[in-house]
Amino acid sequence: MNRDTPIHPLWLRITHWLNALAVLVMVASGWRIYDASPLFPFEFPTALTLGGWLGGALQWHFAAMWLLAANGLVYLALNLASGRLWRKFFPLSISGIWHDALAALRGRLSHADPRRYNSVQRFAYLFVICDIVLLVLSGLVLWKSVQFPYLFSHASEFFHDPISPRCHPANADRTAVNSWSNC
């Protein structure tokens, strides 16, 4: 392998670092949003948060969410169009993940070809891709639940929350509960 030849194409490196930036901004602004109304008896240090105040943190958070969503779509589209998704991440098996995880824990996992992902890496990348899709969708549900009633009602059904759908104003005409007082 030639040392001057990059392991990953330029578009992959750019989308990777844009996603990393978006996630860091979302974490830092999310901590500021949490600090505005903490659920637990601790707060994140102000120096580690972003936004300065709740409104500013929300603006940073939404901007990073759109960067993550748009960049994620570019990443997925380029992976699918180039065939890289299938070539790099599949086939994947539970036994392969188990075998490579045990080899890594024993210090015997081969790194002879850095262009080839082992099963644990494949699983981790696929998990992160699915996780980012879920994070963006759940963010849309929380941010614009009235504009995305389909996502809201199906998300609450998925997590077996019997209260949320009937308390949601978009579903008021479809349920017997037409008042927020019963929620």
The per-residue pLDDT for range 60-112, each reduced to its tens digit, is 999 999 999 999 999 999 999 999 999 999 999 999 999 999 999 999 988 88
Nearest to 175 by CA among 156, 147, 143, 140: 156
Kindly tell me if the per-residue pLDDT of 10 is higher than 90: yes
Q: Are 51 and 25 in contact (CB under 8 A)?
A: no
Task: For residues 153 and 155, give the distance between their C-alpha atoms in angstroms, rounded to a whole number.
Answer: 6
Distances (CA, A) of 33 to 29, 37, 45, 132, 165: 6, 7, 12, 20, 25
Contacts of 94 (CB under 8 A, 6+ apart): none
Kindly tell me if the per-residue pLDDT of 15 is higher than 60: yes
In terms of pTM, does the model score above 0.75? no
Across residues 24-51, what is the average pLDDT?
93
Mean pLDDT of all residues belonging to the chain: 83
pLDDT of residue 183: 44
pLDDT of residue 39: 87
Nearest to 19 by CA among 7, 30, 8, 11: 11
Contacts of 4 (CB under 8 A, 6+ apart): none
